[in-house]
Amino acid sequence: MKVLVTGASGQLGVDTVAILKRKGHTVLGCDRSQLDIIDLEQCQQVIGQFHPDVVVHCAAYTAVDAAETDVDGAYLVNATGSRNIAVAAEAVQAKVVYISTDYVFNGLGNTPYHEYDNTDPQGIYGKSKRAGEVLTQSLCSRYFIVRTSWVYGMHGNNFVKTMLKLGQEKPQLKVVHDQKGSPTYTVDLANFISELMLTEKYGIYHASNSDSCTWYEFTGEIFAQAKEILGASITAKIEPCTTADFPRPAPRPANSVMEHLSIRTNGFEDIRSWQDGLKAFLEEYKNGIK
């Protein structure tokens, strides 16, 4: 298939392009210099010329805290930009895979969110990503909305890389223990996307590594596996703290856990556990630093 990937230089975009090429697809990976999604005419030109079967829309405004004051900027990329991609893709009858987020929920629930629970984003980032979902649903006849959470991979900055660095530099670290979610390894997410896009099983999907943890528990597992796999000298002792101990401009969901209802009901194999995903990442990380 011919696949166009937006946000191709981001941590999910890089792995998505690589995996799709490895699976034999013809891929056009576009970063902002090649495709500025806020420019409708450019979207129509690039997508019209390449004429993809699928557009995987990874490009997004993801600066959660900055979005609280840069409201126009967040909506320009996440809403208007997504509309532009949707319009251009529909013109060539391409399927659209829109990458969304756990932030479309309020995070106040006690149980995992499934795909058809009511959304209630609390911050500008979540609201703008929800706007992108709505526009994609309204303007595309063939769409997959893929919500994910706590994403990390080899390309770009993320929580795992930060903890690996701090764990070897600091004597003590305070890590939040009252936010719960599902860490997601970009390679596992990209593999799921590559499988999903081949089908006509359109709709909303929650796609993360399986099971859940708090940031504190995640850090503990990162340190344990880093010692075993990387032989890392972890000096930091971790101490649990609350979200209130680290006030931020944008609200953080206390519960980001998403149930994989659509993966099950559409007959897909569920994504492996977050512990196994982390192990695979650290193996990749080990090979990358040799």
Is residue 68 left, alpha or beta, with left meaning phi > 0 and alpha meaning psi from -120 to 50?
A: alpha
Q: Which residues pair with 213 in a beta bridge?
A: 181
- Which amino acid is present at 288? G
- The phi and psi torsions of 70 (rounded to 5 degrees) equal -100, 60
Q: Is 125 a catalytic residue?
A: yes
Nearby residues of 49 by Cβ (< 8 Å), 6 or more positions away: none
- Cβ atoms of 35 and 42 within 8 Å: the answer is yes
Please tell me the distance from the alpha carbon of residue 179 to that of residue 233, in angstroms, as a whole number: 27
Burial of 102 (0-12, 13-18, 19+ CB in 10 A): buried
Please tell me the distance from the alpha carbon of residue 227 to that of residue 163, in angstroms, as a whole number: 13
Q: Which of 98, 103, 125, 152 is catalytic?
A: 125
Angle separating helix axes 274-288 and 186-196, nearest 10 degrees: 110
Tokens of 105: 């929920």
Element (H, E) at 223: helix 215-225
**Residues annotated as catalytic (active site), given as ranges:** 125
